[in-house]
Amino acid sequence: MKNPMQADFAPKELAPQINAHFNGKFEVELKYRLTDREAFWARLSAKSPEVMLEDNLEHDCYFDSPTASLAAEHKSLCIREMLPSGIMLWIVKGPEKDRCEAVNITDANKAKSMLRTLGYQCVLEIKKRRSVYFLGEFHLTLDWLEGLGDFAELAIMTNDEAKLPIYEAQLLALAAELGLEESQREFLSYRQLQMAIQG
């Protein structure tokens, strides 16, 4: 069975890293608001991170039933299109906070049509500019969202639920090394933040 996050349309040389980093049923993720993107970048680049992708445009369409039953069950259903990599993903998160599963798909428009046939509708679109770096076994995501600003996410995926607290402690230590403070932590998802400014 092929790896779910295997990026068929990403540069071939990235495939092993992508497989190693995005293989897991659970994701530990710490998100921070960046008050000074330049200063954060200086600290990050001093660690010589491996570049997975830089300045990729991501277009997410979140789907839910007309009664918002997925949101009520703490689940999310999303079709993501990435440019220029051309990667397209079908992503399901929840109901547990750390649970995230995704498969590559070959046609985002077709997948959206299929979800509409199944009775879902697009309830939210989010567009962001994303860069992803590898730092050892962790990955770091640097995002800019229109209307929301700059964010850094430190994360790791795993199939071993028992390791989640260990990884969280390691990610907190890494965040401190990168100058990120607890006051910058953001506990809401981009989806929740976007709905807050839209509402």
Closest CA to 28 of 133, 170, 167, 139: 167
Report how far residue 55's alpha carbon sits from residue 76's, in angstroms, rounded to the nearest whole number: 25
**Closest approach of its own copies to the CB of residue 24, in Å:** 11
The CB density around residue 146, as the number of other CB atoms within 10 Å, is: 10
Q: Which residue has 């530990």 as its token pair?
A: 28
User: Does 20 help bind its own copies (rule: CB under 8 A)?
Assistant: no
- Tell me the window of 39-47, 91-99, 156-164, 170-178 that interacts with its own copies (CB under 8 A): 91-99
106 vs 183 by CB, closer to its own copies: 106
- Mention every residue, 6+ apart, whose C-beta is less than 8 A from residue 81: 58, 59, 87, 88, 108
- Tell me the window of 10-18, 116-124, 152-160, 169-177 that interacts with its own copies (CB under 8 A): 116-124
**Closest approach of its own copies to the CB of residue 151, in Å:** 25
**Closest approach of its own copies to the CB of residue 177, in Å:** 33
Report how far residue 121's alpha carbon sits from residue 70's, in angstroms, rounded to the nearest whole number: 11
Asked if 52 contacts 126 with a C-beta cutoff of 8 angstroms, the reply is no
Residues that bind its own copies (CB under 8 A): 1-4, 6, 8, 25, 69-70, 73, 75, 77, 90, 92, 94-95, 99, 101-111, 113-114, 117-119
What is the set of active-site residues?
62
